[in-house]
Amino acid sequence: MGFSEKVQAEALAACERRCCICHNFCGTKMALHHIVQRADGGDDSFDNCIPLCLNCHEDMGKPDPRHVTGKHYSERELRLHRDNWYESVRNARSGIKEVTKKDIEKLFADDEVVVLDGGTIGENNTVNIDGMTTALKELAKKLPRIEQSDNCFNTSDEDDLLPDGTSRKIEII
C-alpha cells in the first residue's frame, strides 16, 4: 500500500524536500524509502520512512552476498542520517542566535576559517565574504551581529579556488 498521505506530508515537510543522505533539494524528484522493507516486517509509519533523492534511493538495493562491493547502508545508519537531517532542518528554522568559530568550522569542514581575535563572532568582528559561494554569502547575511565589510577581499591563492572561481577559504576578522 505505501505510506499514507499524512506520513508522506510529514516526512517531506520534515526534510524540506531535501534528501536525508546527500541533502540536495529534490522538489518532486523524491522517493520515500522504507528503512525496513515491508517484506522484511517493516511498516508504513513515519519512523520507518526516509525521504531520499532518486540517486540515493538507487543505492538502497539489497547487496548481493555473492558479490559484495561497497558498504551498503544499514537500518541504523539510515535512521541516523534521517534523524540528524531532520534535526538540522528544525535548528535552521529556529534561526541563528550566536555563532562561534567552531560552529562555522563544523558547517564548512573543508573550508579554512580564521578568527583573528580568537574569540566568538560578535559586534566587533567582520566577515569578509568576497569570493564565497552564494550559500556562504546568505549565511553571512543571516548572522545577526556581524558587519559585512565593504572592503572585502579574497584570501585564497589560485590553487584554493573551486571550479566556478569561488574561494574555498573564508576569513573572519
Q: What is the pLDDT of residues 99-116, one digit of tens each?
A: 667 766 666 655 444 444
Same domain, yes or no, for 135 and 78? no
Residues 12, 60: one domain? yes
How far apart are alpha carbons 88 and 62 in whole angstroms?
A: 28
Do 106 and 145 reside in the same domain of the chain? yes
Same domain, 118 and 82: no
Q: What is the pTM of this model?
A: 0.53
Is there a single domain that holds both residue 68 and residue 111? no
Of the pLDDT bands very low, low, confident and very high (cuts 50, 70, 90), residue 19 is: very high
In the chain, the number of structural domains is 2
Contacts of 33 (CB under 8 A, 6+ apart): 49, 50, 51, 52, 57, 60, 78
Final residue belonging to a domain, choices 45, 69, 93: 93
Same domain, 60 and 112: no
Domain coverage including residue 118: 101-172
Query: What confidence tier does 66 reach under pLDDT thresholds 50, 70, 90?
Result: confident
What's the pLDDT at 154? 46
Measured in degrees and rounded to the nearest 5, phi and psi for residue 20 equal -75, -10
What contacts 155, CB < 8 A, 6 or more positions away? 114, 128, 131, 167, 169, 170, 171
